[in-house]
C-alpha cells in the first residue's frame, strides 16, 4: 500500500530518475486528473446508470449507493458504498470509476483501494468519521480528490496528498449558488497570493494554515498545483458552462443527471456544454428540450446543521 510520493508539500510534476517501473507516484496520480480535464464525472448508483453515463460521454463515474439529494432526504449516517455495488459498476464500464470514503475514514479508503477503484473522493457528502484529521492520502497508491471552499482548504488537502481538488458547492441541492461562491473565492484567493510581494507569503501561509511551499507555488504559477473541478449543485448545461467559464477544469455532476426528467439527454447536454463552454450557439442548441432539471433547493431553506460544505476544515 505504501506509495512512492513526492515529499510532502513539494507538489510539482517532478519526475524521478529511476529506470525501473514505479507505481503510485505523484506524476501518475496527478496525471490521471489531467486526463479527466474538460470532462464530466457523473454520480451513478447502478451498473445500468454507469453505462448510460459512459455512452453519453462521461470521462469517469462516481459509484455510490445514493445520490446526494437522496442522502439529504433520507438522513442518518452516510457511509462508503457496498463493495458489491462498486465492483458491479467497475465491471460494467471501461472508463475510470471513483468512489467516496468518509472524511478521515482511512479504512474505508483501504477497502476502496483493494477493490481497484481509480480515484477516491474523501467526501463531505458522507458523514465525517473524524472531526480533526483528514486521511493521510500520501500512504496510498490510489489517488484522492478532495473538496474545498477556498485556497487554504485546497492547499491543506494537497499537502495531505490529494492529487485533485474540487470546489465543494452544496451537493444534492441542484442550486449552483454555492459552487459559484466557492469557485470565485478560490480564484480570488489565488489572484491575491499571485500578486503579493514575496516577503508577505510567509504570513500568508500562516493565515491560510497551509504549507509555505504550496503557497509559493500558487504565487509563482497563478494556479493550484493540481487539477481543479467544480462540484455541488450543477443541474443544467448552462450551469456546467458557467462553472467552466469561472475557471473549473471540468465538472462533477451528482443528482443533476439521474434526478432530472430525462437523464440520458441531460447527460449528453452537460457533456457538450462542458466541452463547448464558451460557444453560446452550441450552448443554446444543447439546452433545448433536455426536459425538466431536478427540482432544487433554496440554500437558506436548509437547516444550518445540514449544510454539507461545512464538513471538513
Partner 1 sequence: MTSTPTIGVLALQGDFAEHIAMLRELGVATAEIRVPSQLAAIDALIIPGGESTTITRLLDIYELREPIRRLGLDGLPIWGTCAGAIVLAKQATDLDRPNLALMDIDVRRNAFGRQVDSFEEDIAIEGIDGPRFHAVFIRAPGIERAGAAVRVLAALDDGTIVAAQEGRLLATSFHPELTGDSRFHALLVSLAKVYQAERGQTSK
Q: Give the residue numbers annotated as catalytic, written as ranges.
A: 100
Applying CB under 8 A, which of residues 9, 45, 58, 180 lies at the interface with partner 1? 58
Residue 43 touching partner 1 (CB under 8 A):
no
Closest CA to 142 of 119, 161, 158, 164: 119
Neighbours of 221 (CB within 10 A): 12
The upper half-sphere exposure of residue 78, i.e. CA atoms within 13 Å in the direction of its Cβ, equals 25
Applying CB under 8 A, which of residues 57, 83, 247, 296 lies at the interface with partner 1? 57
CB of 178 to partner 1, least distance (A): 26
Size of the site for partner 1 (CB under 8 A): 45
Applying CB under 8 A, which of residues 34, 87, 110, 287 lies at the interface with partner 1? 34
Applying CB under 8 A, which of residues 8, 66, 79, 141 lies at the interface with partner 1? 141
Query: Which strand (E) or helix (H) includes residue 122?
Result: strand 119-123
Q: Which residues contact 131 (CB under 8 A, 6 or more apart)?
A: 104
Residue 54 touching partner 1 (CB under 8 A):
yes
Q: Mask 61-100, x = binds partner 1 (CB under 8 A)?
A: ---------------------------------xxx----
Applying CB under 8 A, which of residues 25, 49, 81, 230 lies at the interface with partner 1? 25
Nearer to partner 1, 86 or 308 (CB): 86
Judge contact between 127 and 192, C-beta under 8 A.
Answer: no
Applying CB under 8 A, which of residues 17, 76, 288, 303 lies at the interface with partner 1? 17
Residue 198 touching partner 1 (CB under 8 A):
no
CB of 310 to partner 1, least distance (A): 30
CB of 288 to partner 1, least distance (A): 15
Residue 288 touching partner 1 (CB under 8 A):
no
Q: Which residues contact 27 (CB under 8 A, 6 or more apart)?
A: 13, 14, 15
Classify 145 as helix, strand or coil: strand
Judge contact between 59 and 41, C-beta under 8 A.
Answer: yes
Q: Which residues contact 205 (CB under 8 A, 6 or more apart)?
A: 211, 212, 215
Judge contact between 299 and 170, C-beta under 8 A.
Answer: yes
Judge contact between 226 and 33, C-beta under 8 A.
Answer: yes
Nearer to partner 1, 65 or 279 (CB): 279
- Binding region for partner 1 (CB under 8 A) out of 74-82, 174-182, 274-282, 304-312: 274-282
Applying CB under 8 A, which of residues 47, 104, 143, 161 lies at the interface with partner 1? 143
Burial of 103 (0-12, 13-18, 19+ CB in 10 A): buried
**CA 169/CA 164 separation, integer angstroms:** 16
Binding site for partner 1 (CB under 8 A): 13, 15-25, 27-28, 31-32, 34-39, 54-60, 94-96, 113, 116-119, 141-143, 271-272, 275-276, 279
Amino acid at each position: 500500500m505504501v506509495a512512492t510520493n513526492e515529499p510532502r508539500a513539494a507538489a510539482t510534476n517532478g519526475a524521478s530518475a529511476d529506470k525501473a517501473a514505479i507505481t503510485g507516484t505523484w506524476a501518475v496520480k496527478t496525471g490521471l486528473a489531467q486526463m479527466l480535464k474538460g470532462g464530466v464525472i457523473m454520480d451513478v448508483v447502478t451498473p445500468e446508470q454507469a453505462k448510460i453515463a459512459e455512452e453519453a460521454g462521461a470521462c469517469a463515474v462516481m459509484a455510490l449507493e445514493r445520490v446526494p439529494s437522496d442522502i439529504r432526504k433520507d438522513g442518518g449516517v452516510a457511509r462508503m458504498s457496498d463493495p458489491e455495488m462498486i465492483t458491479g459498476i467497475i465491471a460494467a464500464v471501461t472508463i475510470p470509476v471513483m468512489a467516496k470514503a468518509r472524511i478521515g475514514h482511512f479504512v474505508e479508503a483501504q477497502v476502496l483501494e483493494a477493490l481497484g477503484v481509480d480515484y477516491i473522493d474523501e467526501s463531505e457528502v458522507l458523514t465525517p468519521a473524524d472531526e480533526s484529521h483528514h486521511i493521510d492520502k500520501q500512504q496510498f497508491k490510489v489517488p484522492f480528490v478532495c473538496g474545498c471552499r477556498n485556497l487554504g482548504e485546497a492547499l491543506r488537502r494537497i499537502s495531505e496528498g490529494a492529487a485533485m481538488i474540487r470546489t465543494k458547492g452544496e451537493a444534492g441541492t441542484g442550486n449552483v449558488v454555492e459552487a459559484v461562491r466557492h469557485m470565485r473565492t478560490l480564484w480570488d484567493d489565488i489572484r491575491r497570493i499571485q500578486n503579493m510581494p514575496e516577503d508577505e507569503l510567509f504570513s500568508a501561509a500562516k493565515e491560510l494554515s497551509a504549507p509555505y511551499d504550496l503557497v509559493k507555488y500558487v504565487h509563482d504559477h497563478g494556479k493550484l498545483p493540481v487539477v481543479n473541478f467544480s462540484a455541488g449543485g450543477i443541474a443544467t448545461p448552462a450551469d456546467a458552462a458557467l462553472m467552466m467559464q469561472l475557471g473549473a477544469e471540468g465538472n462533477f455532476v451528482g443528482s443533476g443527471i439521474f434526478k432530472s426528467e430525462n437523464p440520458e439527454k441531460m447527460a449528453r447536454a452537460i457533456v457538450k456544454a462542458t466541452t463547448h463552454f464558451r460557444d453560446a450557439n452550441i450552448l443554446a442548441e444543447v439546452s433545448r428540450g433536455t426536459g425538466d432539471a431536478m427540482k432544487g433547493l433554496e440554500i437558506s431553506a436548509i437547516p444550518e446543521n445540514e449544510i454539507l460544505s461545512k464538513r471538513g476544515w
